[in-house]
């Protein structure tokens, strides 16, 4: 029933094409303050030499950089809201879930599940491999980071979820007439959206497997649960805890976190753990808790 929500809206192809263009334009407009800050700091020459690797350090203040970086998602979210409300005449509730109201308990459940996993993994890794970390905590910088992250990272992750698991998932489902096509296409497009992340330059293209698998996992729980609440909570919890707990010189979030990872990352091990252990276990847990059934129909069935 979740994808079918789009059948009740103004959903012709032209509107979706215009909608995607408008959302993209708003997202780019949101980068203007960041670009202006970079030009003010380094001049036009410094801005022209901007790369993925130095983008998060070029201003010299990671908290300020994070704020400017996340600001583009706020403006992008505004564009998405205008497109959904006025171009498609759709409510954000129907873009979010097939339920009569957004289930915040589901959102909290997935948030705390991934938060707990991230915390335990970080504590375990720091305890057994302390030489791979340096203590990076500075109270004043961390407090600023905390408030910037807790306000803006959920907006960033929600924007991505509403675009991929909401707007595109529903739109593609309407035009394809099935559920497997939007699931696969949004998973791959979500994964390859991260192609320009500095992690790819450091870890190689294998890390894209992790991103695509994450998109697939988020798509599955959205379709099985008939709503985005679990995906919204998971994505927010994952990004927020990573920003607060551990940073590295090669990650997209270079923050004043508690720890800094200084060892050479093992992309194969982390990908295997996520794809073959964490995601399957979470799928089992969610399916038992929310009594999911009829997997074939919900993931591969046709849209009536």
Q: How do the pLDDT tens digits run along the chain, 304 residues long?
A: 899 999 999 888 999 999 999 999 999 999 999 988 888 887 776 666 666 656 677 777 889 999 999 999 999 999 999 999 999 999 999 999 999 999 999 999 999 999 999 999 999 999 999 999 999 999 999 999 999 999 999 999 999 999 999 999 999 999 999 999 999 999 999 999 888 888 887 788 888 999 999 999 999 999 999 999 999 999 999 999 999 999 988 888 889 999 999 988 877 777 888 889 999 999 999 999 999 999 999 999 998 7
Burial (Cβ within 10 Å: 0-12, 13-18, ≥19) of residue 82: middle
Q: For residue 181, what are its two tokens?
A: 């096509």
Rounded CA-CA distance 145/208 in Å is 27
User: What is the per-residue pLDDT for 265?
Assistant: 80
User: What is the per-residue pLDDT for 53?
Assistant: 58
User: What is the per-residue pLDDT for 138?
Assistant: 93
- Count Cα neighbours of 122 within 13 Å in the Cβ-side half-sphere: 22
User: What is the per-residue pLDDT for 270?
Assistant: 79
Rounded CA-CA distance 39/26 in Å is 21
Look at the pTM and tell me if it is higher than 0.85.
Answer: yes
Rounded CA-CA distance 156/175 in Å is 27
- List the domain boundaries for the chain: 3-300
Find the radius of gyration of the CA atoms of the chain.
20
User: What is the per-residue pLDDT for 107?
Assistant: 97
Angle between helices 207-225 and 169-176 (to 10 degrees): 70
User: What is the per-residue pLDDT for 157?
Assistant: 97
């Amino acid at each position: 029933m979740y994808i079918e929500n789009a059948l009740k809206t103004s959903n012709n192809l032209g509107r979706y094409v215009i909608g995607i263009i408008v959302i993209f334009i708003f997202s780019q407009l949101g980068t203007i303050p960041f670009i202006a800050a970079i030009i003010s700091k380094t001049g036009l020459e410094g801005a022209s030499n901007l790369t993925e690797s130095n983008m998060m350090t070029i201003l010299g203040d990671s908290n300020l950089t994070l704020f400017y970086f996340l600001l583009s998602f706020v403006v992008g979210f505004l564009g998405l809201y205008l497109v959904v409300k006025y171009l498609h005449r759709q409510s954000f509730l129907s873009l979010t879930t097939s339920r009569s109201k957004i289930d915040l308990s589901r959102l909290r459940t997935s948030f705390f599940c991934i938060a707990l996993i991230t915390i335990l993994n970080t504590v375990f890794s720091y305890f057994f491999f302390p030489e791979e970390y340096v203590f990076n905590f500075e109270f004043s910088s961390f407090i600023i980071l905390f408030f910037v992250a807790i306000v803006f990272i959920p907006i960033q992750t929600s924007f991505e979820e509403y675009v991929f698991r909401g707007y595109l998932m529903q739109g593609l489902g309407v035009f394809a007439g099935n559920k497997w096509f939007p699931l696969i296409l949004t998973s791959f497009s979500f994964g390859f959206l991260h192609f320009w992340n500095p992690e790819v330059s450091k870890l190689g293209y294998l890390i894209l497997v992790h991103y695509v698998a994450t998109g697939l996992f988020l798509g599955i729980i959205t379709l099985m649960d008939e709503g985005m609440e679990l995906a919204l909570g998971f994505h927010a919890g994952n990004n927020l805890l990573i920003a607060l707990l551990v940073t590295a010189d090669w990650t997209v979030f270079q923050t004043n976190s508690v720890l800094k990872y200084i060892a050479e990352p093992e992309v194969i091990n982390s990908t295997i753990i996520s794809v073959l252990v964490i995601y399957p276990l979470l799928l089992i847990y969610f399916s038992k808790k929310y009594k999911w059934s009829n997997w074939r129909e919900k993931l591969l069935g046709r849209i009536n």
